[in-house]
A and B are shown apart, each in its own frame.
Chain A
């Protein structure tokens, strides 16, 4: 009997990390990241559920953006691994990595649209780079995506001419053109007014519903989180403080998490009992 050179990586639940898991599409294990002396992530474990809206919450500077950039190897960790459908992300060489990255659509915190290109060219960019589609096919796809997001008259405009909310939608349209399996939103609602926030929430839910994607949303807007989330993970003090379904998180008595949610003013999320227990209604 010849023993394999390396044992297959076995997860805590006994399943193999190097094979796709029925429930968890992305599995982060023991992720450790420092920038110089700044220790940002320490032994982070996180599971992202297939086909659901997974929200990551945490204070600004907690390392949420750094964490999700590891999913598609935009950053490399000092230690630890990320498994996406059984693929060890950090073991990929450039060519397969390039193919692998197309699984993801990333909507950046500040949209990260290319300022030198029009809205239409921005959205056409991934298609031009990665498909052999003709100009007219590309134009149709882009028009369809922009139309679905209510951006009919912006095709010829430059990102600098759009409002923040519109730029976010263009960013989403660009992330959607290659039909990704996993959509990641980095703080989609930060800096938006309440109505624009609700619009973006609806846009996320509609995209999830229409394109059947797994989504990961970074947010610290608790009202928005409770509107869209299936699962919530909280990152604090370099690691995942709590993770679970919305109900599990609401029932958590982890003091920091409790404080974080209570201070956000979303009392309804806890039900009347908590608000009463607190002695004063949170308004």
Chain B
């Protein structure tokens, strides 16, 4: 604390001009640096905020009351909401992958490998990633809209005013649902895609049934499916967390909710694709797929 009567020094007598120029230059360099790193800082801020939201939600996990109904509803919303689109996209992804593989391998009379290569690509990458993208578009966007509307219409404040923690009530059940439903949807995607692949290869393109099954078993390792499932838990969490964050922090009326929804889809999709690379690196080193 400074004494009240203390004279302030820099009121009159301006500093000499040269010093002034140096100070101005110094300041503009600082401003320049600040502006250059600003996007990075904002990104770190945003990541930090998501981590905090996640941590706060998890801190409510062991606490009562446990509202089973909220968890069931969230699972239904995330799971059933995305089910039909996941099945549709899964079937066609399997079919087109199989079609391309059959044509590529036909040059070497190796069509029967189509099932194995398709299965491997689906299990490790396509099923978890495409399912997560579908979830970002469906559940992530839906949650951002729902929570965003609740935020701007003060329903979240109302919860809090009634002494109900909105993170425990709204966010936690959805995060859990994302982590549970991600792997289930991914598995369904994989199964239906393999059925599609079989249909195109064996029924349409005339690949031998026995050969198709044999090579699929040779190339596709159960570890691949485990890897895909581990990824899908992480993706499910990320996509829903981003949706919750955007909804929870919505402001600025209906337009704000719309922006949040768009961001939930865009950020969710980008984060899935980026984190997939790093996650693959980790998983490949942790559980290397042995050649059977």
Q: Give A residues with C-beta under 8 Å from B.
A: 69, 72, 74, 94, 97-99, 101-102, 104, 106, 108-110, 112-115, 125-126, 129-130, 178
Selected A-B contacts with CB under 8 Å, 9 pairs: A69-B157, A74-B160, A74-B161, A97-B163, A101-B163, A106-B158, A108-B157, A113-B158, A129-B163
Minimum CB–CB distance from B252 to chain A (whole Å) comes to 12
Size category of the binding interface on chain B: 10 to 19
A109 touching B163, Cβ below 8 Å = no
A114 touching B155, Cβ below 8 Å = yes
| Bound-state Cα–Cα, A20 to B165, Å | 28
CB-CB nearest in chain B for A104 = B161
Query: Within B149-200, which residues are at the interface with A (CB < 8 Å)?
Result: 149-150, 153-155, 157-158, 160-165
Minimum CB–CB distance from A126 to chain B (whole Å) comes to 5
10 A-B pairs besides A72-B161, A101-B160 with CB distance below 8 A are: A74-B161, A97-B163, A101-B161, A104-B161, A108-B158, A112-B155, A112-B157, A113-B158, A115-B155, A130-B163
CB-CB nearest in chain B for A184 = B161
Q: Main SS of the interface on chain A?
A: mixed
Complex interface: chain B residues within 8 A of A108 (CB):
154, 157-158
Q: Give B residues with C-beta under 8 Å from A.
A: 65, 149-150, 153-155, 157-158, 160-165
Complex interface: chain A residues within 8 A of B150 (CB):
114
Task: Select which of B149, B154, B155, B162 is within 8 A of A126 by beta carbon.
Answer: B162
A112 touching B154, Cβ below 8 Å = yes
Complex interface: chain A residues within 8 A of B161 (CB):
72, 74, 101, 104, 106
8 closest A-B pairs by beta carbon, nearest first, are A112-B154, A112-B158, A101-B163, A106-B161, A98-B163, A126-B162, A108-B154, A112-B155
Given contact pairs A110-B153, A112-B153, A129 touches B158 in the complex (Cβ within 8 A): no
Minimum CB–CB distance from B159 to chain A (whole Å) comes to 8
Minimum CB–CB distance from A124 to chain B (whole Å) comes to 12
B154 touching A110, Cβ below 8 Å = yes
A-B contact count (CB 8 A): 47
| Bound-state Cα–Cα, A106 to B154, Å | 11
Complex interface: chain B residues within 8 A of A97 (CB):
163
CB-CB nearest in chain A for B251 = A35
| Bound-state Cα–Cα, A130 to B150, Å | 21
| Bound-state Cα–Cα, A109 to B155, Å | 11
B155 touching A101, Cβ below 8 Å = no
CB-CB nearest in chain A for B161 = A106
Complex interface: chain A residues within 8 A of B165 (CB):
94, 98
CB-CB nearest in chain A for B169 = A129
| Bound-state Cα–Cα, A74 to B163, Å | 10
Complex interface: chain A residues within 8 A of B163 (CB):
97-99, 101-102, 129-130
| Bound-state Cα–Cα, A99 to B150, Å | 23
| Bound-state Cα–Cα, A30 to B165, Å | 28
Minimum CB–CB distance from B155 to chain A (whole Å) comes to 5
| Bound-state Cα–Cα, A104 to B65, Å | 21
CB-CB nearest in chain B for A101 = B163
| Bound-state Cα–Cα, A40 to B157, Å | 19
A101 touching B162, Cβ below 8 Å = yes
| Bound-state Cα–Cα, A109 to B153, Å | 9
CB-CB nearest in chain A for B160 = A74
Interface centre among B65, B153, B162 (most CB of A within 10 A): B162
Minimum CB–CB distance from A101 to chain B (whole Å) comes to 4
Minimum CB–CB distance from B63 to chain A (whole Å) comes to 10
A125 touching B162, Cβ below 8 Å = yes
Minimum CB–CB distance from B244 to chain A (whole Å) comes to 16
A129 touching B164, Cβ below 8 Å = yes
| Bound-state Cα–Cα, A74 to B164, Å | 12
B162 touching A109, Cβ below 8 Å = no
| Bound-state Cα–Cα, A112 to B162, Å | 12
| Bound-state Cα–Cα, A99 to B162, Å | 10
| Bound-state Cα–Cα, A110 to B151, Å | 12
Complex interface: chain B residues within 8 A of A98 (CB):
163, 165
Complex interface: chain A residues within 8 A of B164 (CB):
129
Minimum CB–CB distance from B18 to chain A (whole Å) comes to 34
Complex interface: chain A residues within 8 A of B155 (CB):
112-115
CB-CB nearest in chain B for A110 = B153
